[in-house]
Amino acid sequence: MTVSEPCLCKPEDAPLVPGEGWYGAGSGFAAYGEKLGERYTGQLQDVDGTVVPQAAAIAALGAIQFANGCGVDAALALPLYLRDKVALKTSERIAR
């Protein structure tokens, strides 16, 4: 189940989530914990900015989805990378 689509955003523009009892996890909470805490006031049960995704946890979540009939063709199982543009293309460097 997707609660919000993947995106890059400022902490104050982070996607809203329904209800409460959420856990804030990852480097975003380490870097922007105060702003994200404000964004999700009353919705976060706990926060840990040091945790990172673990393959075993992803596999366990995937197994539940698969058991519920939500399997997909393995050829469609591709990583999705989100990040700001961190480098100029060669053509952009030459144009400078």
Residue-wise pLDDT tens digits, 26-64 = 999 999 999 999 999 999 999 999 998 899 998 998 899
Q: How far is CA 42 from CA 20, 28, 36, 53, 55, in A?
A: 7, 18, 11, 24, 30
How confident is the model at residue 59, as a pLDDT?
A: 92
Residue 96, pLDDT > 90, answer: no
pLDDT(84) > 70: no
Query: Measuring CA to CA, how many Å separate 31 from each of 11, 41, 56, 76, 83?
Result: 10, 17, 25, 32, 15
| Mean model confidence pLDDT for the chain | 90
pTM of the full structure: 0.67
